[in-house]
Amino acid sequence: MNKIKKVALLGPESTGKTELCMRLAAHFHTAWVPEFARVFLSNKNNVYTFEDVLYCMNAQLILEDGMERQAAGFLFCDTELINYKVWFADVFNKVPDELTEKLATHRYDLVLLTSPDIPFEEDPLRTNGNRRDFFFDWYKRELESYNIKYSVIDGAGSKRLENAIAAIERQLQN
């Protein structure tokens, strides 16, 4: 049995992660993992606590494990742990030890870091439209500090998908 290669998407708000995740899964004929926190926070009108975010992080990993069994070749994940680390640090000014421990062992074969080079689209859950460059730079520093393999994905529409496919083929397909 071939090992599933896990590809996570990371990037500031409104940089096309969900759409790209769905399109990559369709292109590679495999499964993808939606962002659990999005549904959870929609049901709470985007009002949340530290414990809620911790719950979302753990639920995301459980969802990811379940979807991995349905994947063929690749599994595309619409968020990952660095997103949670930055979220905790930015909103609560602290990162749970549990997350730090998970970051040391939970790895993806590749992270696609989505560039904030496309227009921001308003959404009730999006609160940092004016800080997209700030978060992009923060995510990049975190990826590099953990020595995680990543590719920056830019371009609009089909070009963004083409760039993501090329990065996956270049980085993961032998």
pLDDT given at position 47: 83
| DSSP 8-class letter at 129 | G
Write down the mean pLDDT value for the chain: 93
pTM, entire model: 0.94
**How many Cβ atoms are within 10 Å of 52's Cβ, its own excluded?**
14
Give the 3-state secondary structure of residue 97. helix
In the chain, what are the domain boundaries? 5-172
The class level of CATH for 5-172 reads alpha beta
Q: What is the pLDDT of residues 147-162, one digit of tens each?
A: 999 999 999 989 999 9
Residue in 66, 2, 69 with CA at minimum distance from that of residue 34? 66
